[in-house]
């Protein structure tokens, strides 16, 4: 599933090229998770403003006569990716949405169709506000401090890996990045979140930021389908210390990396250097 680094890489790839572009066409393919929420003709003639990100959602601002006129909230789902092409060509069976502008076409490709493109009048108006309501702090915001993380963890009794994946404390630590951050911080993925001390929460805070920053620098991770808007794959997965390395030696202590299943998701950890 594309996580925060992959979505941010996508945002960076379309933000500058599309600013000021005029929408000249819209194509809808097979239904996605939710309906578009407006007639496709209602988007014609709008110009594209800044592209923002909130968690794993992209917000593509639309303007008319110099004023904001709503926007498109986009989610890549489990297997989606956006491409920006000067000439998009005929859509394939998994190409479900095209936003055609005078600077190229943004195409959403999603084999599983769990992605979404939804129009909303503003981020704080339905349906956008409901979709974003439970998202936690952005990992690089000033408000996300070690102290804030510790307070939030103390209010939850679930395993720390599950808390990170839920995205209600901090967004962006998806499966691969949660595994890697917990390994870097030396915390067992099944440790109860409310029992983590302030010093250990501070270690985790730093590990989350460092892991996501490194993933961003490497273009995210490509495990199956993800590519950036120009078709390039991410490279972070090649540097993973524990994710996907079941039975291989931990690069820190040499003990074998182990795999366990938490809430239906594979978790990788080192029993030697990650303690509860």
Q: Which helix (H) or strand (E) holds 83?
A: strand 81-85
| Residue 197 and residue 276 in contact, taking contact as beta carbons nearer than 8 Å | no
CA pair distance 265, 260, nearest whole angstrom: 8
The catalytic position among 11, 53, 56, 107 is 56
The catalytic position among 2, 5, 139, 159 is 2
130 is catalytic: no
How many alpha carbons fall within 13 Å on the CB side of residue 23?
A: 24
168 is catalytic: no
| Residue 2 and residue 234 in contact, taking contact as beta carbons nearer than 8 Å | no
2 is catalytic: yes
How much is the CA Rg of the chain, to the nearest whole Å? Answer: 20
The catalytic position among 19, 103, 259, 265 is 265
Output the six-digit token pair for 187.
Answer: 């915390």
Instruction: Count other Cβ atoms within 10 Å, centred on residue 31.
Output: 10
Residue numbers annotated as active site: 2-3, 56, 265
């Amino acid at each position: 599933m594309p996580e925060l680094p992959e979505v941010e890489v996508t945002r960076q790839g379309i933000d500058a090229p599309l600013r000021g572009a005029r929408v000249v066409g819209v194509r809808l393919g097979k239904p996605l998770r939710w309906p578009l929420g407006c007639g496709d003709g209602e988007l014609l003639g709008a110009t594209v403003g800044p592209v923002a990100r909130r968690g794993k959602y992209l917000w593509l601002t639309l303007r008319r006569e110099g004023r904001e006129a709503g926007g498109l909230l986009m989610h890549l789902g489990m297997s989606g990716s956006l491409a920006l092409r000067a000439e998009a060509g005929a859509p394939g069976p998994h190409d479900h949405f095209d936003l055609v502008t005078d600077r190229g076409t943004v195409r959403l490709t999603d084999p599983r169709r769990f992605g979404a493109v939804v129009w909303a009048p503003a981020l704080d108006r339905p349906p956008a506000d409901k979709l974003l309501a439970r998202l936690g702090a952005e990992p690089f915001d000033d408000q996300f401090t070690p102290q804030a993380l510790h307070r939030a963890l103390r209010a939850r009794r679930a395993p720390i890996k599950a808390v990170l994946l839920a995205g209600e404390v901090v967004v962006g630590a998806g499966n691969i990045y949660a595994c890697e951050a917990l390994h870097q911080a030396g915390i067992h993925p099944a440790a109860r979140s409310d029992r983590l001390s302030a010093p250990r929460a501070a270690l985790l805070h730093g590990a989350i930021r460092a892991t996501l920053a490194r993933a961003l620098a490497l273009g995210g991770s490509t495990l199956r389908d993800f590519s950036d808007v120009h078709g390039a794959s991410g490279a972070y997965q090649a540097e993973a210390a524990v994710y996907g390395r079941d039975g291989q030696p931990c690069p820190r202590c040499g003990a074998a990396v182990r795999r366990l299943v938490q809430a239906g998701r594979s978790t990788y950890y080192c029993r030697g250097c990650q303690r509860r």
